[in-house]
Amino acid sequence: MIAAIVPAAGHSQRMGRPKLILPVGGRTVIDCVVTALREGGASPIVVVAPPIDAAGSLVLHAEARAAGAELIVPGSRPSDMRASVEYALDDLERRAAVPTTILIVPADSPGLNAALIAVVIGRTQADPEAILVPTVGGKRGHPVALPWTIALEVRKLPAVSGSTPCWRFTRPGSSS
């Protein structure tokens, strides 16, 4: 099972309004992301959404569910994307069958498509212990695919303030 985690509980402060419910090609951003994941073969798709009292949250919740996502709605906004990922990992860990791989997909990625998701899933199935990051023109993209055991290590990462962190993962037993 290859699950997807979509952290979608952010404030959308730079946009000034909830960007995940903005229209893109006649659909909302969150619908585009969840649909690409579902059609590409990810299941389950867990969206960590903003609390019910947040602006636009009821629309976001309805759109994500209609596209095929399961929702986690914390009582208050997670402090950051990592906290959202942890909520989803906790949910997945309580299930009878845990995934072999986790796709982590920022919710504001409407350019994702099912074909890309299917390629990433195919590669994870061919090498289930690999960490996969799609690249285009030398630039990293999404979704990031993490083996379940490595995804659980997210909880051990140091807290970050201000800048974008850079973490290096290595395979167990690897010297690099």
How does pLDDT run across 96-107, given as a tens digit for each residue? 999 999 999 999
CB atoms within 10 A of CB 159: 9
Element (H, E) at 38: helix 29-40
Longest CA–CA separation in the chain, Å: 49
**Secondary structure (3-state) at 103:** strand
Ordered domains of the chain (ranges, CATH): 2-156 (3.90.550.10)
pLDDT lower than 70: segments of the chain: 13, 15-16, 159-176
Contact 121, 161 (CB under 8 A): no
- Please report the pLDDT score of residue 17 as a whole number: 74
How does pLDDT run across 82-93, given as a tens digit for each residue? 889 999 999 999
- Please report the pLDDT score of residue 66 as a whole number: 97
Q: pLDDT over 90 for what percent of the chain?
A: 65
